[in-house]
Amino acid sequence: MVAATQKSARTALLKRAEVVGEFGEERWQQLRRAGHDLRLHALTHLDSYLAMAEEKVIAAGGHVHWARDAEEVHRIVLDIASQHSVHKIVKVKSMVTEEIELNHVLEDQGIKVYETDLGEFIVQLAGQRPSHITAPALHMTKEEIADLFCEKLKVKAEPDPKLLTEIARKLLREEFLNAGMGISGGNFLIAETGTLVLVTNEGNGRMCTSLPPVHVAIVGIEKIIPDWESAAVMLKLLARSVSGSKITAYNTFITGVR
């Protein structure tokens, strides 16, 4: 576990240093300051931006629910699931739902929940908690994951990342098509248009938010940003800081209902 974690951490730090170096240290620090300033501005004017976002989401056909704590989130999600007779849910990786232990609450009510981010899928299968905010299965080796798939999924699995990914993809494709609800978090919420921004590298975010008939986004109020110009700044920062890439593979913008 320690060796796997150290190796993954070294790789991530090297990738980050490389893309920041290509960007240029002076430009990078300017971008960081711009990100700091716009987030501070959004938090300073939080009430007005939240009201604006609510107005725009409703105008686009969506619904807004306010929750003060984890218990209220649980109740709201369970109520929506009950209204739509939901028995199966697919989820995008979301730290806020991890913090409030939403999966356990849903499963206690007989609702099957599938994490669809590969790392989250692996740790869910193992009955563990994520070990890292962006790489949930960072602590596991490919050999351990192969053994886990053999045991839990009853398949022949080799310790090859590509083959292991194909096994998970095949299983999850069926669940995307059969789920009654998709649950996501949100990397940002753009106040001026009520647009939810999701950033992923696997494409599961788009599957969870577009294939099930119901999509519930659970977003902390600190995710609010004023406008699309702010989103451009934050996306440049996020990709380089989190994944060591110039841009993430999938940047999904959701405004209103289908």
> 239 is in which domain, residue-wise?
2-102+179-254
Distance between the two ends of the chain, CA-based, in angstroms? 43
Query: What torsion, rounded to 10 degrees, do the Cα atoms 96, 101, 106, 109 define?
Result: -150
Residue 109 maps to a domain = no
Give the pLDDT confidence score for residue 14 in this predicted structure.
Answer: 74
3-state secondary structure (DSSP) of residue 1: coil
Asked if the structure places residue 173 within a domain, the reply is no
Using an 8 Å Cβ cutoff, are 190 and 134 in contact? no
- For 170, other C-beta atoms within 10 Å of its C-beta total 11
Condensed to tens digits (0 to 9), the pLDDT of residues 13-64 reads: 676 777 777 778 899 899 999 999 999 999 999 999 999 999 999 999 999 9
Any domain includes 88: yes
Residue 136 located in a structural domain:
no
CATH of the domain at 58: 3.40.50.10420
Structure tokens at 83: 């209204």
CB-hemisphere CA count at 13 Å for 243? 16
Q: How many domains are contained in the chain? A: 1
In a domain, 166, yes or no: no
Quick one: pLDDT at residue 11? 66
Query: Which parts of the chain sit beneath pLDDT 70?
Result: 1-9, 11-13, 15
Q: Is the dihedral of CA 16, 20, 25, 27 positive or negative?
A: negative
Question: Is residue 71 one of the residues assigned to a domain?
Answer: yes
Residue 80 counted as domain residue:
yes
